[in-house]
Amino acid sequence: MASLNDLKTRIKSVQSTRKITKAKQMVAAAKLRKAEEAATAARPYGERMEGVLANLAASVKDAANAPKLLAGTGADKVHLLVVATSERGLCGGFNSSIVRKARETLVRLQGEGKQVKILTVGKKGREQLKRLYEELMIDHVDLGGIKSIEFAHAQNISDKILGLFEAGEFDVCSMFYGKFKNVVTQIPTEQQIIPTVAPEGVEPPDLKGAQYTYEPDEDSILEILLPRFIGVQIFKALLENQASEQAASMAAMDNATRNAGEMIKDLELQFNRARQAKITTELVEIIAGAESV
């Protein structure tokens, strides 16, 4: 059995840990409110843009001459996986769930004979994937030190991806991130961003019978709109990730705080038992000494 001093030290150590996890939980809760508002506010714009894109894409007369971002390269050999995770840990299984979904897709694509390349956004995903797939990793985007996600950050990632696409480095690009549902649930999500496809269930805007004439033509508008659309989708994914990270962190720190409390109770019980045993032993020794005299 551990000595009284050892138990005292362990109790103080766990109490200190509980203070840290409680503080981290409160910080995550404060950040979550702001991150959730940003993610919720971005959804209507992203969904409306998806509808506009679906309407324009349906109006393209010559699919063969459509912009490459919409029609693709005509091949399906090289896939780029953009894996977006957090820069910090202490958020439960948030990062692992995203990486797991990306690995499942990677294994499936390799099983189909496709070539896979990886671009990571966030340090934690990079650390996990580097152990097994370092040779597939072509680039990394570091978002450390950024207090809040701005569109400029998403635009930088978009420009990097579009540059690789124009250079013929890949045929299909998919992004992996955590979609925020609520404080308890964050859904690992895979979204194809190149060639651009409207998500399932998105319908073109209801024109109520109106006839639209595009100036210039649909193809010219799509040439401008598609890169912007990709940037918006990346921005939305980063905001969803930010909210999901804080929710997962808050839940993980809440669990850690409660576990620390239970551990303290167990250690205090052990301490009281050890102290009682020591007192009883000393009393027995005193009584035995008195009787021997």
Catalytic residue among 28, 42, 91, 243: 91
Both tokens of residue 105? 């897709």
Q: Is 91 a catalytic residue?
A: yes
Beta bridge partners, 279, equal: none
Which phi and psi angles does 126 have, rounded to 5°? -65, -40
Within 8 A by CB and 6+ apart from 119, the residues are: 80, 81, 82, 83, 137, 138, 139, 140, 141, 160, 161, 164
Q: Which amino acid is at 48?
A: R
Torsion of CA 153, 155, 158, 159, to 10 degrees: -110
Alpha carbon of residue 212 to chain centroid: 40
Alpha carbon of residue 35 to chain centroid: 13
The sheet with strand 78-84 has its strands ordered as 137-141, 115-121, 78-84, 172-180, 186-194
E strand or H helix at 232: helix 218-292
CA distance 54 to 90: 39
Residues designated as active site: 91
